[in-house]
């Protein structure tokens, strides 16, 4: 089973993601950036869903830590955010995210399709 890490401070959003992903993925959840970063080696995810608006250390800063570490540098990371202004997608992709999904999730096939495309690049 493919492994996905969720870094999201909102419990309701984590529960929704778990409900969508639990049958097809081994899911780990973390409520803060530092907690997620610390768990990368232990959880060994194949993909990360990363909230942008995290308290203390935002998602862009978390992504910088992920990309700076040789262990996780190539890890696919999807920005998962309520930021949905016209240029936000381009802005977050320019920061180095592999994709950008807005919340709330209205059509789960968008998330699942993005994850499948990114995971197809990585041998199981």
CATH number at residue 46: 3.40.50.2300
- Residue 32 CA to residue 62 CA, distance in Å, equals 9
Q: Is 121 part of any domain?
A: no
> Which residues form the domain of 61?
1-70
Question: In this predicted structure, what is the pLDDT of residue 123?
Answer: 77
Q: Is 18 part of any domain?
A: yes
Q: Is 86 part of any domain?
A: no
Angstrom distances, CA of residue 86 to CA of 63, 77, 83, 103: 22, 21, 9, 15
- What pTM does this model have? 0.95
- The number of domains in the chain is 1
Q: Is 43 part of any domain?
A: yes
Confidence of residue 109 (pLDDT cuts 50, 70, 90): very high
Question: In this predicted structure, what is the pLDDT of residue 30?
Answer: 98
Q: Is 82 part of any domain?
A: no
CB 78 within 8 A of CB 45: no
Q: Is 57 part of any domain?
A: yes
């Amino acid at each position: 089973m493919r492994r996905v890490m969720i870094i999201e401070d909102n419990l309701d959003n984590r529960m929704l993601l778990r409900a969508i992903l639990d049958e097809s993925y081994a899911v780990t959840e973390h409520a803060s950036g530092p907690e997620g970063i610390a768990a990368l080696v232990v959880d060994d995810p194949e993909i990360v869903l990363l909230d942008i608006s995290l308290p203390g250390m935002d998602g862009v800063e978390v992504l910088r830590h992920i990309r700076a570490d040789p262990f996780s540098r190539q890890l696919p990371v999807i920005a998962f955010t309520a930021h949905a202004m016209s240029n936000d997608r381009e802005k977050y992709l320019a920061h180095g995210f592999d994709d950008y999904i807005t919340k709330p999730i209205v059509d789960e096939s968008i998330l699942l399709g993005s994850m499948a495309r990114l995971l197809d690049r990585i041998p199981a």
